[in-house]
Amino acid sequence: LAAELAPGVETHAAVALAPEGAGGRDIDVVRLALQDPAAVAQHREQPEDEDRVDGGVTVDLSRKRVVLDGETAPLTYKEFELLQYLVLREGRTIERSELIASLWSAADEDDVPNERTIDVHVRRLRSKLGRYEEIV
């Protein structure tokens, strides 16, 4: 097709590969070269924060992550939503029915959990928070 459009023209494909042993997928190099926002954000160096605390609990609502003693906690989406809901209402006692109404408001009637399911979510969240389980 290219020869018909412009005689004497050759087609080429450029492939960018990461150096051997770079650790990571080769496709990231291509995405970085093309300035893909997701790849750039992933590989951007985090600024050193002078006020950063190495221990304790950090709940980053904007990035939807929880850091425990410097390590990111492996929370599921629903566990994070539950923690966020409780953090934003610190000091209040929240009823199970309120959690169901707020966290499962978009669910179909068949997908709405019972009150014991809330207990399971809270137990799993506390388990993942480890020694900081008392914050829930």
pTM for the complete prediction?
0.56
Q: What does the buried/exposed string (b/e) look like for 32-60 if buried means 16 or more CB atoms within 10 Å of the residue's CB? A: eeeeeeebeeeeeeeeeeeeeeeeebebe
Mean per-residue pLDDT of the chain: 75
- pLDDT (tens digit per residue) in 15-32: 555 556 655 555 566 666
pLDDT at 14: 59
User: How far is it, in rounded angstroms, from Cα 37 to Cα 59?
Assistant: 24
Contact of 33 with 17, CB cutoff 8 Å: no
DSSP-assigned states of every residue in 68-121: ETTEE----HHHHHHHHHHHHTTT----HHHHHHHHTTTS-GGG---HHHHHHH
- pLDDT (tens digit per residue) in 45-67: 555 544 455 678 888 888 888 88
Mean pLDDT across 62-76: 87
Mean pLDDT across 30-47: 64
Instruction: Give yes or no for residue 136 having a pLDDT over 60.
Output: yes
Mean pLDDT across 98-110: 79
Contacts of 83 (CB under 8 A, 6+ apart): 59, 66, 75, 125, 136
More confident residue, 40 or 72: 72
Report all structural domains of the chain as residue ranges with CATH numbers, in order of start. Answer: 2-43 (no CATH), 57-135 (1.10.10.10)
Element (H, E) at 122: helix 115-129
